Structure formats: structure tokens, C-alpha cells
Amino acid sequence: MRPSILLTAAALLALAGCAAMPGPYDPARTGHTVSLVNSLSWTNAVSDKPDALRTAWPLAGLTRHTEQFPLAQVKLCDAAGVCSWGVLKAQRILSAPRHVAGGVAVDVQLELDVDRRHEALQGGEKVALAIPADVAALAAKRTVRKSLVLQYGKVARIGLDFGIGYDLCAQRLDAGGKPADACAIPFM
């Protein structure tokens, strides 16, 4: 009876040791960590200039990570210059991140809702945006699910309605937190 207990304990210790070792594609083997840089972008409805929110998150904490983007106004104009406006409410969920050869695989879910009015909790405050009743309003609701393989430093873009776009990039960081890869996702 005693040898089987020792054998079981040895097997469990061996499995625990394997679980603590970085996988074959994990940059931790070379002293790097990985962050996912993402951005939701749109054209500012008032200034007609590009606008976006860009964030970066450590891969280790993204098992099922939700990010709520701030409310924003978007517009779409026809050839005659007549415009319809909408309030954009968006969130993204990242799940199942895993190291693969030369990058990261991750499942992305984007939820976009453009309507006349939206409310949201942002930074602990309740905020609301609305389009006046006498202005033509945009309306669209869309959920996009994609499984992506991101090569380090290469940006994946998902184009959405009304000129809205989502960019995602995997970036290795050295032990000092400096990027080893450039992700060409601009700060706005």
C-alpha cells in the first residue's frame, strides 16, 4: 500500500512541475511577457477627425476579459451631405488566450450597439449620450466573434459598421517592460 502512495505522490509532483514550466511557444522562456494592445476607433462625429481608445492588457490576465469602451457619437452622411447620427456603445471580450508559434491565439467577441440614446457606467459614474429627436438617427446592433492568430507586432483589424474599427496586436515585453515588438496602433 505504501509504495502506491509514494508512486502517486511522485506522479502528482511531476505533473505540478510540468504545469509550472512555460510551454514551447511561451516567451517567458526568453524572459519576455506578452501584452495585447487593442483599440476601438471611429471618426469623431463633431470634428470629423479620427478618434479611438487604445489600451494594453497583460496576456496572463485575459482568461475572460471584458472591456467596456466609452460612449461615443458617430455619424454617416450621404452623397448630398445629409447626416444621420448615433451613439455608439461597445464592449469587447477576450477569451482563451494561448501562446502559438510566433504569436498568440485568442478568441474575440465584439458587441456594438448604435442607437439614438445610450447610458453606461464609466469610471464609477453613470453617463448618457443622446441624439435630439429632430435629427435622423443611426441604429445597428451587431455581435462579431472571431478566433484570431496574432503574429507578434502585426495588427489584426476588424472593420465594422459606420466606419468603426477594432485593432488588436500581440506585443512581447522584456523584463524591464520595454516592447520587443512594435504594434502600429496609434494613440489618439
Contact 27, 33 (CB under 8 A): yes
- Residue 130 · residue 179 · CB < 8 Å: no
pLDDT at residue number 164: 95
Other beta carbons within 10 angstroms of residue 60's beta carbon come to 11
Q: What share of the chain is helix, strand, coil (3-state, %, to 5)?
A: 15, 55, 30
What Cα–Cα distance (Å) separates residue 41 from each residue in 54, 67, 96?
8, 14, 24
In a domain, 109, yes or no: yes
Decide if 186 is inside a domain: no
Per-residue pLDDT tens, the chain, 188 aa: give them.
Answer: 465 665 555 554 444 444 445 678 787 888 889 999 999 999 999 999 999 999 999 998 788 899 999 999 999 999 999 999 999 999 999 998 999 999 999 999 999 999 999 999 988 999 999 999 999 999 999 999 999 999 999 999 999 999 999 999 999 999 999 999 999 998 87
Structural domain contains residue 53: yes
Does residue 19 form part of some domain? no
Q: Which domain range does residue 85 map to? A: 27-173
Domain assignment of residue 4, yes or no? no
Number of domains making up the chain: 1
| β 103-115/140-151 pair status | antiparallel
Helix (H) or strand (E) holding 150: strand 140-151
Q: What is the pLDDT of residue 174?
A: 93
pTM: 0.83
**What is the pLDDT, as a whole number, of residue 101?**
95
How many Cβ atoms sit within 10 Å of the Cβ of residue 28? Answer: 13
Residue 144 lies in a domain: yes
CB of 63 closer than 8 Å to CB of 76: no
